[in-house]
Homo-oligomer: A and B are copies of this chain.
Amino acid sequence: MDSRLGGVAVTIKDVARLAGVSASSVCRTLAAPDDVRPDTRERVQRAVAELGYYPNRAARGLITGRTGNLGLIVPDIANPFFPDIIKAAEARARELDYAVFLADTDEDPAAEMGLIRAMSKQVDGFLLVSARCSDEELRSVYDDMPVVVVQRCVRHVPAVTFDDHDGIRQAVGHLATLGHRRVAYVAGPRTSWSNKERQRILRSTTSAAGIELVDTGHAAPTLDGGTAVADLVLATRATAVMAFNDMMALGLLRRFRALGVDVPGDISVVGFDDIPLAELVDPPLTTISLAKQRVGRAGVDMLIGLLDGRLDRAPRTILPTQLTVRASTGPARRD
């Protein structure tokens, strides 16, 4: 009763030999237990248990074209926004008996394509979260294998996105009510679809609310990125600032604190994502919450639906967003 992973490497032949049957029967017992005679099944199952046999997925994939693996690619695991999505995706995949291969691109579009290429034959499909590569590239990947993009829209490519419009509308309304008339937007990566989207929505929403939107240019969507543009934000004399994501917003808070700038007294700060830290910092961050628990699950379900041929065309799922008001926003300061 050796339950180790396989003493060196147990193959289907070892099982067949021990059970006194052919490899075909072992295979069949595993795939369709009802198609073999009970006593055969039992002998095989005993042998499998005894040897600790576990089929080689890579070899199986070679012939079936299915590996039982999903590729999950994110720009930056250090951004606490992604772990929630990742964990939900992994959990859902596990339920459906898929393994998840995860990779981090470090926000680098080139690394992204490299990883996709390296993984491509070892997974059945990809879940690309906030992919930074071009539409062209994305579509070319989709030509070859099932892909679901998260937080991005590309024609003909299945996608799970957030209804950014709703959250932004709430946030802008909130700021307008507090008397803000000049709001800065700290943009994220130029290559980020959601950054463009948020910027676009923000422009129309603020102008509708009679708010002037000031642009402070792009920065890395990280703590340091936020910290780096903080001075620029102050220079705009905006009374409130919205950041592309919470990490940037936290970076702003850090720098503001260092400068003795009071939040929200001197300036209000709004983030995006509602990462777990948002409520821990001082002051707790007002931010736009996304249904991130659901996105991982929805993405995996869509991907596997695609694999199973249950879905055709390019399905779309849109998940809700909502403003969560905390202490980092307050009445506009009077100049």
Contacts and interface: CB of A to CB of B under 8 A. Distances in A.
A308 interface: no
Contact of A118 (B99, B120, B253): B99
Contacts of A83: 77-78, 104
Given A8-B144, A58-B59, 4 more contacts: A5-B116, A5-B117, A87-B104, A277-B280
B67 A77 contact: no
> What is the oligomeric copy number?
2
A172 to B, nearest CB: 26
A120 B5 contact: yes
A104 B86 CA distance: 9
Interface centre among A80, A141, A253 (most CB of B within 10 A): A80
Interface of A: 3-9, 54, 56-59, 61-62, 67-69, 77-78, 80, 83-84, 86-87, 90-91, 94, 99-104, 106, 111, 115-122, 140-141, 143-145, 223, 250, 253-254, 276-277, 280-282
Contact of A101 (B7, B102, B145): B102
Nearest to A222: B276
Main secondary structure of the interface of A (DSSP, over half): helix
A102 B99 contact: no
A116 B5 CA distance: 9
A97 to B, nearest CB: 9
A86 B141 CA distance: 26
Contact of A5 (B56, B144, B250): B144
A8 B121 CA distance: 11
Contacts of A119: 99
25 contacts: A4-B141, A5-B116, A5-B117, A9-B144, A57-B118, A58-B59, A58-B121, A69-B122, A77-B77, A78-B80, A78-B83, A78-B84, A83-B104, A86-B104, A87-B104, A87-B106, A90-B106, A99-B118, A100-B103, A101-B102, A122-B122, A223-B280, A254-B280, A280-B281, A281-B282
A58 B7 CA distance: 21
A139 to B, nearest CB: 9
